[in-house]
Structure 1
Amino acid sequence: MMVSVFAPASIGNVSVGFDLLGAAIKPIDGEPLGDVVTASLIDSGITVTTTGRFAHKLPDDAQQNIVYQCAAYFLVQLDDDGINHKRANTSSSENSHDNPYENKRGVHLTLEKRLPIGSGLGSSASSIVACLSALNQLFGHAFSDDQLLLMMGEFEGKISGSIHYDNVAPSYLGGMQLMVEQPNKLTSTLPIIDNWYWVVAYSGASVSTAAAREVLPKTVELSTAITFAKNLAVFVDAVHNKDSHLAEAMLNDVIAEPHRQHLLPNFEQAKAQLSYLGVKTVGISGSGPTIFAVAHSLAQATAAKQCLEEHYIQHDTGFAHICQIDDIGAREITI
């Protein structure tokens, strides 16, 4: 038995919602922007194979690979819930064809690493989501969506230093997700402004989430906190009312961008160039260095993409895509 899952890239924070808002994205040209994990049962242990454009950036030691650690974590959760034990000890009346878990206590994983590491596109989240989703399907949907999402957030926290769902939730569930984090409701799916194009540009540099958090202040001024709350509240209200102009006016990052923009060479120059094209909204995707711009037409998005390719991308590993919101999230694919 083998399961392959694709998990899309995501924009964390979306400027207005630091750690609280995220959006899954898909290039309009059909190019898959996200990681793929294929999982299969083996007799014992965890083995990992890596492929893909950015596989050379992964650790040589398989045990340091995020999907290896994900699998180890997942199998512990299974044992803690008694699921692995029950399935490994299914009645002898069931043969191995009927019970794929019989005598199978290990997994082999293949990670196709399509997202650059430290890109601000939810690279670690995409690997985590694809891996845990594939494993959950492989083990007969052992955990519910909410249980799995909690596991994803907890594991992402091990990587970035704090638990937050603004990348894993949209990558898993699709759409634009507002973090609610209540016992009976983890996230809320926000309406999408249909005529927006999200132009993303990865410069080719790398910024670690942990390092980007280090530059943030430990406290903020009361006036800043009030502005942040107002912007997020009005944005949520505006998208529910399909008021695209008001929603866009609220896409202003008063928490992270002022402290992180110096980590992104050419960011200010790119914003200035985009303003000449009438693009008013430009923000940092997650921790950067990827940035995004909101365009109102395909023509404007095409011009913005060309502008970012010329004024923002610095290395041959960089790229730019015209995207829309991916409303599906993680899904099983055929390889």
Structure 2
Amino acid sequence: MSVVAYAPASTANVSVGFDVLGGALAPINGELLGDRVKVSRGDYGFSLECIGRYAHKLPTDSKSNIVYQCYLGYKAALSKRNKEILPVKMILEKNLPVGSGLGSSSSSIVAALEALNAWHDYLLDKTSMLTLMGEMEGQISGSVHYDNVAPCYLGGLQLMINEGGIISQNIPSFKEWYWVVAYPGISISTSVARDILPAQYRLSDALTYGRRLGAFVHASYSNQPELAAKMLKDVIAEPYRSQLIPGFKEARLYAEQSGALAMGISGSGPTVFTVMTDLKQAQSLQNWLTENFLQNDEGFCHICHLDQQGARVLGTEL
């Protein structure tokens, strides 16, 4: 007997919502873009095996893997409820590259905790789970951020609230949008991407950020896709982080010439996303990015919709 959980890739910030917006991603061709974790009964406490395309990027010591920290975190959460964790054997199928800006660590965290919770008959509710996921993400990034784990776990486009006991809530999204997501094959650590940002911002930039974020949320609720797309501009991170991404300016120019509604950096980068409404134009851009933006064989480019499901149990076998 076993349980396999899947957690999708995610794009955080979404240009207009630094640290407060995030969306889950689902390739339109039906592929699963995200990590999977299998849990089965172990002979003793904990064991971990890592497989998948990017498993070679992970620490060789299983106790240095975030999945082990998830096991410890889940164990502690059960202990507070006077429950004991079962001995488990876990397999992480690492399908997302580390340091890609696609919520790679969040995908592993969410898949691991979703699998553990399913294995234990869902002893933790969604709020407890999301809180624990944020804590696990904080161990990697240095501070708690929910803009990857929330959409990864809950699906859709999530707005971070972090007030009154509410962590995040889903906001409406546009089904006609295609999200062309290109990972060039190089890595940028979250700490490096944060260090390049200024310690202080001009009042005008802060006001622009707030105005555009408010307008984007309003446009999402009032079904104004054109207005929403116009708001997808980043005054907080992109002016600084774009220099870390080879070929970013050229990709932006080509995307604009190809009919893109908007383009931005996914999370901390180096992945970029482009919003389009015409599938043929999206496919043409996908081909161009594959030929001109990807740096090596590690990279990839997908045309996606937003994944409305989020994390889920797929079955019993990887």
Give the SS at the match of 2:305.
strand
Asked if 2 retains the 8 angstrom alpha-carbon contact of 1:176 and 1:325, the reply is yes
Paired residues for 1:120-199 under 5 Å: 120-199=101-180
User: 1:55·1:113 contact (CA, 8 Å) conserved in 2?
Assistant: yes
Aligned residues: 316
CA contact (8 A) 1:177 1:189 kept: yes
Aligned residue type for 2:19: D
> Is residue 14–residue 286 contact of structure 1 (8 Å, CA) maintained in 2?
yes
Partner of 2:33: 33
CA deviations on 1:209-265 (whole Å, 9 max, x unpaired) are 121111111221111111100010000000111101100000001111111111101
User: Sequence identity, in percent?
Assistant: 49
Q: Which residue of 1 aligns with 2:236?
A: 255
8 Å Cα contact 1:37-1:111 kept in structure 2: yes
1:11 corresponds to:
11
Deviation of 1:80 after TM superposition, in Å, equals 2.6
- In structure 1, what is the Cα distance between the partners aligned to 2:220 and 2:197? 28
Supply the AA of the counterpart residue of 2:296.
H
Give 1:41 deviation, angstroms.
2.8
Secondary structure, aligned partner of 1:165: coil
Kept in 2, the 8 Å contact 1:23–1:177? The answer is yes
For residue 78 of structure 2, give the secondary structure of its aligned residue in structure 1.
Answer: helix
- 2 CA distance for matches of 1:115 and 1:34? 6
Paired residues of 1:269 and 1:311 also in contact (CA < 8 A): no
Q: Gaps spanning 5+ residues in structure 1: where?
A: 85-103
Amino acid in structure 1 at the alignment position of 2:223: K
| C-alpha distance after superposition, 1:270-294 (max 9, x if no partner) | 1111122122411000011100000
Task: Tell whether the 8 Å contact from 1:46 to 1:72 is kept in structure 2 after alignment.
Answer: no
| CA positional deviation for 1:43 | 4.4
Q: Take 1:217 and 1:63, find their aligned partners in 2: how far apart are those partners?
A: 35
1:9-32 Cα shifts (integer Å, max 9, x gaps): 000100100010000010000111
Q: How does 1:211-226 map to 2 (within 5 A)?
A: 211-226=192-207
**Is the contact between residue 190 and residue 236 of structure 1 (CA under 8 Å) also seen in structure 2?**
yes
| Unaligned residue ranges in structure 2 (runs of 5+) | none
Secondary structure of 1:143's counterpart equals: coil
1:264 to 240, 245, 248: 245
Q: Which residue of 1 aligns with 2:267?
A: 286
Distance 2:164 2:254 in 1: 45
Say if 1:284 and 1:292, in contact at 8 Å, map to a contact too: yes
Structure 1: how far apart are the matches of 2:47 and 2:239? 43
Contact kept in structure 2, 1:2 and 1:38, CA below 8 Å: yes
Question: In structure 1, what residue type is equivalent to 2:55?
Answer: A
- Per-residue CA deviation, residues 165-212 of structure 1 (Å, 9 max, x unaligned), is 010000100000000112342211111112110000000000111211
Separation of aligned partners in 1, 2:288 and 2:38: 37
Contact map agreement 1:177 1:188 (CA 8 A) in 2: yes
User: Which TM-score applies when normalising by structure 2?
Assistant: 0.97
**Is 325-334 or 66-75 further displaced after alignment?**
66-75
Report deviation, 1:107: 1.5
Counterpart secondary structure, 1:227: helix
- 1:243 and 2:224 matched: yes
- Shifted more, 190-199 versus 35-44: the winner is 35-44
CA contact (8 A) 1:274 1:307 kept: no
Cα offset for 1:42? 2.3
Contact 1:37–1:110 at 8 Å: present in 2 too? yes
